[in-house]
Chains A and B, each alone.
Chain A
Amino acid sequence: MLKYLFLTFYLLVTTSIISNGQSAWVGFSTEYNLPGGNLKWIYKGAPGVQLNYSWVLKKNKGGYPGYGVTIGYIKFSPKADTLYYLVYLGSGNTGYGTASYSSRKLIQLSSSFFWTMPSKTKKTELIFGTEIGYYYSFFNYDFNDDLGSESGKEIEGKGALVPYFSYALYPSKNVRIAPYFKFNLFFSLGSNDSESITYNPNFGTFNYFYSLGLNISYAF
């Protein structure tokens, strides 16, 4: 159920921005993504690209809010073709298993809410925001050990929560260059109720990674 709420929310925000737009920015980001937690066990850092469209609601001296939408793509490659793990076989015996993962691709759809604080010269800005989104995740896996083997494919839409901050420079009135840092948390949606239609065996699991990027936007 939560999955559908996220999707609905995303569509509502997108529609709202487009219909009420006054002064908008369209931008392109390139970033480097560093896996954390259990994602780091398997994958190495990966580049990513994003397209974004943002909208500043009202400009005040002290700061002003904004909204935006983003679509992005990341491809995490595994650290090695084969990973190894230990398997307890009972009676004091330990064996080992091998695991192999395909590249993990993420298609990112998200809406952002941010607050912009301009400097006194108004040539730079600090931006704090949060993205709420939906990440489509694709990868294959294969396990083999003395207890058996297992192969599978995960194709799953996950919820995402991405706090971030950015420092924006304005070389000209219509051009903004903004290096940024994001913390990407994405998690399985659904229910752990095996009898529910939204049952998701992965429910409760999450991953995260960090993004360091540079956004270049144009105002029109």
Chain B
Amino acid sequence: MKRFNIFLLSGLLLSCSESPFVSKDVIEELIAFNKNKKNPFKDVKNVVATINNDIYFFSHIDSIPKRLTNSPLEKKTNVKLSFDLTRIVYLDENKIPVIIDSDNGQVLEILSEYSNVKQLGWINNDNSIFLLIGNSVIIYGEAVEVVQPEISYPSNEVLSFSMNDIGDQAYYIKSYGIYAGQKLKFDSEVNKIDTLISVLPNEVSGADYINFYDDTGGFFVGYNDYTSNEIEHVSIFNDYFFWPFVDWYDDFIISPVFNSGHEVLIYGYSNGNYNSIKAVYLGTENYDKNSVEEIKTINIDEYLSEYPIYVDWK
């Protein structure tokens, strides 16, 4: 009764103003707003993925994707979307980079002079692409200064290389013998680092994959499963000086991409039977009244692939 009286009293005070009642349309808008507010994936847009060897563009992770290529017999991997969203580069079955238009899939360039590319990425405001081939880094496009990986022994191998637009470069070397293991070399103009950190911190050494996720110095590393040789564990760092602020484990993690603005990790997921796109919220905000510790995941089951899915998103 008390609440009803308060309601009546508010009605009395507002009797010359607007009604406290609102239309059903307003409520439906509120429900939609609250649903979005509780959805950590609401702003996950511009996702590209290889599904059954063709490239698809999702304007939003929940949307119906646009199919950009129609060559399912030609293997495609390592897909990367340019920051201005206009071009996509991927590796064909010979690991040769191919650049296509992100709007209609038209082939713009085939970088046939480069093959067996292990890792690549857009840099220099989309004016250049770095390519890790063998143990060397090659810049395609506008020249960008790059520190080549140091190989002490011929048996050493550069497993992974990444760089960003603020002068950070890093790579993992696989070494053998008495110092066997994966060692990280991290060069940073921002933080004045030039260190081979094979012993510190433990979380960083021993990984197999590194990728800078933005231009603030943040990066993540991936640890392979020894039998499948696919990533099974990702550690995400705000910058070199901090221990990982979050770790994520899954069966098979293919081409993980982390976006710090949304705190969402997206990757091609495989459980051994099928491949799909998986998105994981790794932030600390409460969503949908769940605890901070509860990590949200969505699996895009509508678009399964017979082959491993490579993804990127901006």
B129 CB to nearest A CB, Å: 43
A158 CB to nearest B CB, Å: 13
Of A96, A141, A206, the residue contacting B4 (CB under 8 A) is: A141
Known: A143-B7, A150-B1. A96 touches B27 (CB 8 A): yes
Q: A41 and B20: CB pair below 8 A?
A: yes
Contact of B3 with A by CB under 8 A: yes
Q: A204 and B4: CB pair below 8 A?
A: no
Known: A38-B11, A38-B15, A41-B20. A84 touches B26 (CB 8 A): yes
Residues of B within 8 A of A83 (CB): 21
- Distance A85 CA – B11 CA, assembled complex (angstroms): 12
Contact of B147 with A by CB under 8 A: no
Of A85, A143, A150, A204, the residue contacting B12 (CB under 8 A) is: A204
Q: B3 and A84: CB pair below 8 A?
A: no
B27 CB to nearest A CB, Å: 5
Known: A94-B30, A202-B8, A204-B12. A86 touches B22 (CB 8 A): yes
The dominant DSSP class at the B interface is: helix
B18 CB to nearest A CB, Å: 9
Residues of A within 8 A of B5 (CB): 201-202
Q: A206 and B12: CB pair below 8 A?
A: yes
Known: A84-B26, A94-B30, A205-B8. A99 touches B21 (CB 8 A): yes
Q: A85 and B20: CB pair below 8 A?
A: yes
Count the A residues whose beta carbon is within 8 Å of the partner chain — how many?
24
Residues of A within 8 A of B15 (CB): 37-38
Of B12, B22, B34, the residue contacting A84 (CB under 8 A) is: B22
Contact of A62 with B by CB under 8 A: no
Task: Identify the closest chain B residue to A83 (Cβ).
Answer: B21
- Distance A204 CA – B8 CA, assembled complex (angstroms): 10
Residues of A within 8 A of B31 (CB): 96
Known: A84-B27, A99-B21. A152 touches B4 (CB 8 A): yes
Contact of A90 with B by CB under 8 A: no
B21 CB to nearest A CB, Å: 5
Q: A205 and B9: CB pair below 8 A?
A: yes
Chain B positions 14-29 with a Cβ under 8 Å from a chain A Cβ: 14-16, 19-24, 26-27
- Distance A6 CA – B20 CA, assembled complex (angstroms): 32
Contact of A171 with B by CB under 8 A: no
Residues of B within 8 A of A141 (CB): 4
- Distance A94 CA – B27 CA, assembled complex (angstroms): 10
**Mask: chain A, 75-103; 1 = CB below 8 Å from B; 0 = not:** 00000000111100000011110010000
**Mask: chain A, 27-61; 1 = CB below 8 Å from B; 0 = not:** 00000000001101110000000000000000000
Chain B positions 252-274 with a Cβ under 8 Å from a chain A Cβ: none
Task: Identify the closest chain B residue to A94 (Cβ).
Answer: B30
Q: A85 and B21: CB pair below 8 A?
A: yes
Residues of B within 8 A of A99 (CB): 21
Chain A positions 174-220 with a Cβ under 8 Å from a chain B Cβ: 201-202, 204-206
Task: Identify the closest chain A residue to B31 (Cβ).
Answer: A96
Q: A84 and B21: CB pair below 8 A?
A: yes
Q: A41 and B30: CB pair below 8 A?
A: no
- Distance A160 CA – B268 CA, assembled complex (angstroms): 73
Q: A41-B11, A83-B21, A206-B12 are in contact. List 13 more A-B contacts (CB 8 A).
A: A38-B8, A41-B19, A84-B21, A85-B22, A86-B20, A86-B22, A86-B26, A96-B30, A150-B1, A201-B1, A204-B12, A205-B9, A205-B11
What are 19 residue pairs bridging A and B, where the CB atoms are less than 8 Å apart in the complex? A37-B11, A38-B8, A38-B19, A41-B11, A41-B20, A42-B21, A84-B21, A84-B23, A85-B20, A85-B21, A86-B22, A93-B34, A94-B30, A95-B34, A143-B3, A201-B5, A204-B12, A205-B9, A206-B12
Give 10 closest A-B pairs by Cβ, nearest first: A38-B11, A41-B19, A37-B15, A83-B21, A84-B27, A38-B15, A96-B27, A85-B20, A201-B5, A205-B12
Enumerate chain B interface residues (CB-CB to A < 8 A): 1-5, 7-9, 11-12, 14-16, 19-24, 26-27, 30-31, 34
